[in-house]
Structure 1
Amino acid sequence: MPLNRIDLSDINHPALLARMVHKLLGKQEGSVPVEDIAKALDISEVRLDRFDGFEGMLLTDTVRSTGCILANISKGHRRARFTVAHELGHFLMERHQLSATTGFTCSTRDMRESREGRQHLRQETQANQFAIELLAPDYLMEPFYSHDPDLRDAQHLMNSLDVSLEACVRRMVERRDEPLAAVWSHNGTVRYFAKGADFPFLNLSRGDRIPQTSAAHRAITNASPGFTQFVEADPHPWTGRSNLELYEQTRVANKGHAVTLLWAELPEDEEDGGLKELGIPGFR
């Protein structure tokens, strides 16, 4: 595998680092061979097993001479692949400070971290950014995009790239041109959300109920697993605004879990960023 850590030195931006790995590796087909990539970049062992108390661990020294990655398999193979990529990001980003004398230990919360802030949170955010850019590069995703956004695309990406549905939905929201947001819920209660840079403020917090006037609420209440079609939605319960068009689509899963994709059509004076100061960042 044509990879050498020397070619990656001094790259501290997580997305650029992952893109350079792909540039050196050349275009792939199907799922990205993350374990092989890690071993080619001086990770001596990748161990997937059931562990208590952590999702991932990187055992290394302060100079990153070599490393060993442990990934918890208890939440599935796809989650473990993301964990391997996450820990590889810690290993390659030389400015990351070890969380212990033996390396890094990462929790379930760290695997979803998307906030900038204190050193630890910033490092976890960057490791997640590296991981998703490595596992789901644009050139592998774009052939699966429909003309319009569709949660079914994320399902197809999940199967092709061997990455979790959540990661594929987040990646779609981030990378497609349309103003998109995704809301994950359990039994009709918001767990967390992700939104693209151009999507307006989401008038939701963790623990809020999904708007009861929404098609998402009806689909979740019906509890029939599968995908709904995109339908027009009242924007006010979702965004606190009435001066935009909003469409929603929901995938209902088992045991009360669901994800709702929101697609906004902004007023003309906002399409070029004219009123972006109104967009208040959401949690996570």
Structure 2
Amino acid sequence: MDRFDGFEGMLLTDQVRSTGAILANTSKGYRRARFTVAHELGHFLMERHELTSDGGFTCRAQDMRETRDGRQHVRQESQANQFAAELLAPTYLVTPLLSPEPDLRDAQRMRDHLDISLEVCVRRMIGGRDEVLAAVWSFKGEVRYLVKGSGFPYVTVSRGDRLPPISAAYRAVQNAQPGFTEFAEAHPLSWTSRTDVDLYEQTRMSNNGHAVTLLWADIPDDDDDPDRPELSVPTFR
């Protein structure tokens, strides 16, 4: 099925998963459709997932990017995304493709080697490295969405915002030259609300206005990030 009326994928099944059929939107490319199929397979195999309609599951584009652990629907989509990523890009295949330090070129190499989308590869890179990373996807200088790895500070841009004018990403988009920039030091306030972190950024610019920016934060050891819960002072009896 080529036209889905706003949906990326559908799983047609019953409440007890006695049988099932998966439909995937192919209009956005084969690699994205592969992820959609894996995502719907996750819904089928996770027996605690509740059907979103009488006939099964219907998933939108934003569901394919879900990483939160909130209400039932959000949690199910996040779990199905994690299942799909692990199925298509397992750790034992991802790790050998990573350079000693973060580099968006690794994501492109992973994409070509594993035949999955660049977006999934960037996410796997963020989750598979020890460094504190985040990524911001944009189109013609406007933020589409972002993903933060564990421990990354609060990011001050959100969907619909323009890229920070003082960022290297902004300059890369203005230059509109396809390819990769090298990592450059960024002022921490260009992307975060903190001044006590060392921040670096790298951007991959495509030839159609789409870009992804990788952010790398060096968090001080005595981190007092307001986003993190404070630990109480131990007492002795």
Letter paired with 2:227: L
2:4 is aligned to 52
2:107 to 154, 174, 192: 154
Question: TM-score, structure 2 length as denominator?
Answer: 0.92
| CA distance, structure 2, for counterparts of residue 260 and residue 186 of structure 1 | 11
Partner of 2:227: 278
Q: Distance in 2 between matches of 1:278 and 1:52?
A: 39
Aligned length: 228
Task: Confirm or deny: 8 A CA contact 1:199 1:279 kept in the other structure.
Answer: no
User: Which one of 108, 114, 121 corresponds to residue 61 of structure 2?
Assistant: 108
For 1:276 and 1:197, locate their aligned partners in 2 and report how far apart those are by CA, in whole Å.
Answer: 13
Of Structure 1 and Structure 2, which has the larger fraction of its residues in helix?
A: 1
Structure 2 residues without counterparts, runs of 5 or longer: 230-237
8 Å CA contact 1:187, 1:220 repeated in 2: yes
CA deviation after TM superposition for structure 1 residue 268, in Å: 2.1
User: Contact 2:95–2:128 (CA<8 Å) still a contact in 1?
Assistant: no
After TM superposition, the structure 1 stretch with the greater mean CA deviation from structure 2, 97-106 or 136-145, is: 97-106
What SS does the corresponding residue of 1:140 show, helix, strand or coil?
helix
Is 1:143 matched with 2:143? Answer: no
Matches of 1:129 and 1:185, distance apart in 2: 23
Aligned residues with identical type, % of pairs: 64
Amino acid aligned to 1:247: Y
SS at match of 2:200: strand
Q: Name the structure 2 match of 1:5.
A: none
- Cα root mean square deviation, aligned: 1.4
| 2:33 paired residue number | 80
Tell me the residue number matched to 1:69.
22
Alignment of 1:213-228 (within 5 A): 213-228=166-181
Distance 1:190 1:144 in 2: 28
Query: 1: distance between equivalents of 2:221 and 2:71?
Result: 37
Query: Who is 1:167 aligned against?
Result: 120
**By how many angstroms is 1:110 displaced?**
1.5
Secondary structure of the 1:163 match is: coil
- Following the alignment from structure 1 to structure 2, what is the Cα–Cα distance between the partners of residues 55 and 63? 23
Q: Which runs of 5+ in 1 are unaligned?
A: 1-48
> Residue 123 of structure 1 aligns with which residue?
76
